[in-house]
Amino acid sequence: MTWTEAVVVSHSPATPDIAVIDLAPATGDEFPAYTAGAHIDVLITPNLVRQYSLCGPPEQGRYRLAVLNEPASRGGSRAMHALKVGDHLRISAPRNHFPLVTARRHLLFAGGIGITPLLAMARQLEREGGDYALHYCARSRARAAFVKELAGNPRVALHFDDGDPRQQLDLARDLGDPQPDTAVYVCGPDGFMDHVLGKAEALGWPPQSLHKERFGTAPEPTASGDSFTVRLASTGAEYLVPDDRSVLDVLLENGVDAPYSCRQGICGTCVVRVLAGHPDHRDEVLTNEEHAEGLFTTCSSRSLSPTLKLDVIPRRDRP
């Protein structure tokens, strides 16, 4: 992965738990442009990379992040909260696995810090004159970021757990029955997303209308109960993957220059193609269509067959 030097030009609390961080190029070059839903990788330490959605307007020439200080994290959020104006860090170019699709109407559902990519989407749709509604759920107004700029927007509904019951999210009302040419976007903690997506399925929304990005740590992959073998198409080499190790772990341990970033199945960097075998998909980034095309995350997914044949493009050869 190619890293770019960035400098912190603003660091301020949006809530007691959320910091808003503006980054600018450390050199005279401009940051690459991005579209709503994109994220960047941040190199926290040589062995720790974290992904953060971009929530600021692209035309400002800066990258804006909103980072939740998560006590259960492995150090990424604490390091980001400890940054000060003038500090330098290394970031990747933006990537977008959660883009806005062309649709007559967009329904956006954000839970907690999951507001960040959906805020960028709402801004883009506003600029383009798109038809949308944004539902933002948080435990309380005090713990919700960007409330001041969202309050008063007739297309935005704020839902607080400690508020009047009449203003709380009601998916039968706020999502409703499936509508033609309507795209639904969901981002937030696992419990929130499971609730919204489960209700959407119960209401009859087709999978192709539902777009998701889990914001936070994906569940640790569970063992399949059996080991299996991966065979590399490029070399014919075979490696045994025990039930307590990931495909990515085994490839790296054997010196294979496999791509990776988050190691949690939520960023898409480690995706390779399955050429033979039956994968057991456990990621949170690929669609059913991409699974059917043979795409596979080495960090989280496993195998239902004794052998998987993989087409692994080394990191140095990837665009």
Q: Please say if the pLDDT value at position 225 is more than 60.
A: no
Q: How far apart are CA 21 and CA 80, in angstroms?
A: 8
Domains of the chain: 4-91 (2.40.30.10), 105-214 (3.40.50.80), 228-317 (3.10.20.30)
Whether 159 contacts 167, CB under 8 Å:
yes
pLDDT for 201 beyond 70: yes
On average, the pLDDT of the chain sits at 89
- Answer yes or no: is pLDDT of 71 > 80: no
Residue 295 has a pLDDT of: 93
pLDDT surpassing 60 at residue 221 = no
Q: Given pLDDT bands bounded at 50, 70 and 90, which one contains residue 288?
A: confident
Q: For residue 190, which phi and psi values (nearest 5 degrees)?
A: -55, -45
What's the rounded Cα separation, in Å, for the pair 302 and 296?
9
> CB atoms < 10 A from the CB of 107, how many?
23
Interval 99-150: pLDDT, tens: 999 999 999 999 999 999 999 999 999 999 999 999 999 999 999 999 999 9
What is the pLDDT at residue 47? 75
Q: Are strands 271-276 and 307-311 parallel, antiparallel or unpaired?
A: antiparallel
CA distance 13 to 8: 14
288 in Cβ contact with 315 (< 8 Å): no
- Percentage of the chain modeled with pLDDT above 70: 93
Binned at pLDDT 50, 70 and 90, residue 155 comes out as very high
